[in-house]
């Protein structure tokens, strides 16, 4: 190809104006493909963008305040303790009714502890033969007190280092096998939930009674609010989930426990305490959710973006027409017309394929 011809071709390529021409293909198959693709796009826009995603809505996240109140009684009658009735003041810790609360289900009680001297609980590091085995002032954070330097009888057969501590020491291996407050599963909790969606100036308040036991193993998801007048739904759902590991084989320290004490002054002026090692279930009420309401900007943006898929429909139909149809050569020839203007200004049309003249 000469340089001049190449240059002319380039100028045609750059400056020839292409305009759309309507070519009607009276073919049932291509028509079906075209309408079916259009239907898919319309279903996507209406079904997914509008109904499922609610693309016409603005959204806002919830701000929530939660208070809780537990109710229920438990009765215990064990050899370690006198018969006892337990109410909320005994087993809900802390009692204020925060969004996080603990329900006591089992406990080890060590009553009448005073600041005094007593032998340590037997353990490879505390067992001794004589005073030389016990270093005065030594304290191990995992043991119970400061050593006095004496080796004392813990029992008739075992001697251990004496410590200065709250004595008698707690023996937490005496934990009742069966949960002492097994009745906890029948306790009920009232959750008061105040929610706000500031963007929509929406305030809501829900009271929700729930049973501590039956809900414990249930999993679920938080419900969202649809604030449009035609939907008008804002019903939060509560879901309960265990946060500790439930895999017995792969759990170093299962469950949750902590210690607290009640202090007294005896008649002789000596300070005394009852130490309680509490085992139980800690509940955390976590509220999360999103509200949506019609907004003109997201409606236009999302619907416009979704409807732009309609412009892809002719491309799909063209592809089927030009590659799969029996008369594809004819359609290809008619698809693009290159108009060549003759010297006497009578236009001559040439059916061509793309890029040829
Ligand atoms: N855990 C719960 N289970 C069932 N009902 C509850 C529970 N906690 C509170 N309620 C009841 O819900 C209502 C509202 O409780 P709220 O604490 O606002 O009122 P109250 O009169 O102080 O309750 P209380 O009965 O404790 O004195 C009351 O009738 C109360 O008895």
Question: Which residues does 95 contact at the CB level (< 8 Å), separation at least 6?
Answer: 88, 89
- pLDDT for position 344: 62
- pLDDT for position 154: 93
Say whether 284 sits in a helix, a strand or coil. Answer: strand
Q: Which of 164-168, 170-174, 327-331 has the lowest mean pLDDT?
A: 170-174
Strand partners, 190: 69, 209
Token output for 327: 């008369």
- pLDDT for position 18: 84
The model's confidence at residue 129, banded by pLDDT at 50, 70 and 90, is very high
Token output for 303: 């619907």
More confident residue, 79 or 159: 159
Is residue 260 a known part of a binding site?
no
More confident residue, 159 or 189: 159
If you measure from the C-alpha of residue 183 to the centroid of ligand 1, how many angstroms do you get, rounded to a whole number?
19
The model's confidence at residue 265, banded by pLDDT at 50, 70 and 90, is very high
Q: Mean pLDDT of all residues in the chain? A: 83
Contact 167, 146 (CB under 8 A): no
Evaluate if residue 76 carries a pLDDT over 90: no
CA 65-67-69 angle, to 5 degrees, is 165
Distances (CA, A) of 320 to 223, 352, 354: 45, 19, 17
Is residue 206 a known part of a binding site?
no
- pLDDT for position 217: 37
Cis ω on the peptide bond leading into residue 260 (within 30° of 0)? no
Rg (the chain; Cα; Å): 40
Residues with CB under 6 A from ligand 1: 69-71, 188-190, 209
- pLDDT for position 74: 82
What is the architecture of the domain spanning 63-120+169-292?
Answer: Sandwich (2.60)
Question: Which residues does 37 contact at the CB level (< 8 Å), separation at least 6?
Answer: 312, 313, 316, 317
Domain spans of the chain? 14-55+295-352, 63-120+169-292
Q: Which of 93-107, 110-124, 322-336 has the lowest mean pLDDT?
A: 93-107
Is residue 73 a known part of a binding site?
no
Contact 90, 109 (CB under 8 A): no
Q: How far apart are CA 184 and CA 101, in angstroms?
A: 13
Name the residue with the closest Cα to ligand 1, atom 5.
190
Q: Which of 149-158, 231-240, 325-334 has the lowest mean pLDDT?
A: 231-240
Q: What is the dihedral of CA 107, 111, 115, 118, to 10 degrees?
A: -90
- Is the pTM here over 0.90, yes or no? no
Residues 12-25 pLDDT 10s: 888 888 888 888 98
- The average pLDDT across 289-305 equals 90
If you measure from the C-alpha of residue 96 to the centroid of ligand 1, how many angstroms do you get, rounded to a whole number?
14
CA 181-209-254 angle, to 5 degrees, is 40
- pLDDT for position 354: 42
If you measure from the C-alpha of residue 70 to the centroid of ligand 1, how many angstroms do you get, rounded to a whole number?
9
Evaluate if residue 75 carries a pLDDT over 50: yes
Q: Rounded to an integer, what is the distance from CA 246 to the centroid of its chain? A: 18
The model's confidence at residue 221, banded by pLDDT at 50, 70 and 90, is very low
Q: What is the dihedral of CA 95, 96, 99, 103, to 10 degrees?
A: 0
Is residue 188 a known part of a binding site?
yes
Evaluate if residue 254 carries a pLDDT over 80: no
Evaluate if residue 335 carries a pLDDT over 80: yes
- pLDDT for position 136: 93
- The average pLDDT across 120-131 equals 92
């Amino acid at each position: 190809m000469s340089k001049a011809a190449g240059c002319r071709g380039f100028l045609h390529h750059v400056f020839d104006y292409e305009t759309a021409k309507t070519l009607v293909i009276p073919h049932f198959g291509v028509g079906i493909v075209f309408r079916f693709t259009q239907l898919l796009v319309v279903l996507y826009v209406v079904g997914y963008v509008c109904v499922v995603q609610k693309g016409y809505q603005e959204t806002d996240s919830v701000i929530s305040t939660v208070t809780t109140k537990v109710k229920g009684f438990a009765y215990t009658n064990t050899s370690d303790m006198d018969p006892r009735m337990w109410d909320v003041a005994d087993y809900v810790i802390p009692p204020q009714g925060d969004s996080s609360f603990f329900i006591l289900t089992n406990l080890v009680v060590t009553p009448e502890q005073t600041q005094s001297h007593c032998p340590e609980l037997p353990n490879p590091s505390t067992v001794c033969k004589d005073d030389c085995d016990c270093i005065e002032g030594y304290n191990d954070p995992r043991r119970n007190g400061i050593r006095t330097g004496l080796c004392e009888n813990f029992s008739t057969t075992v001697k251990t280092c004496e410590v200065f501590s709250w004595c008698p020491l707690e023996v937490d291996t005496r934990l009742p096998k069966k949960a002492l407050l097994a009745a906890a599963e029948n306790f009920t909790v009232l959750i008061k939930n105040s929610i706000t969606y500031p963007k929509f100036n929406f305030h809501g308040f829900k009271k929700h009674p729930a049973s501590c036991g039956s809900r414990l193993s249930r999993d679920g998801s938080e419900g969202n609010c649809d604030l449009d007048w035609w939907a008008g739904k804002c019903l939060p759902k509560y879901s309960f989930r265990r946060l500790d590991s439930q895999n017995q084989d792969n759990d170093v320290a299962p469950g949750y426990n902590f210690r607290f004490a009640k202090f007294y002054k005896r008649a002789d002026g000596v300070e005394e305490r009852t130490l309680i090692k509490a085992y139980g279930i800690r509940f955390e009420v976590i509220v999360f959710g999103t509200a949506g309401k019609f907004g003109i900007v997201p409606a236009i943006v999302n619907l416009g973006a979704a409807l732009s898929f309609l412009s892809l429909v002719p491309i799909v139909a063209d592809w089927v027409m030009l590659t799969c149809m029996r008369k594809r050569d004819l359609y290809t020839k008619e698809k693009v017309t290159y108009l060549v203007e003759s010297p006497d200004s009578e236009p001559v049309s040439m059916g061509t394929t793309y890029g040829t003249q």
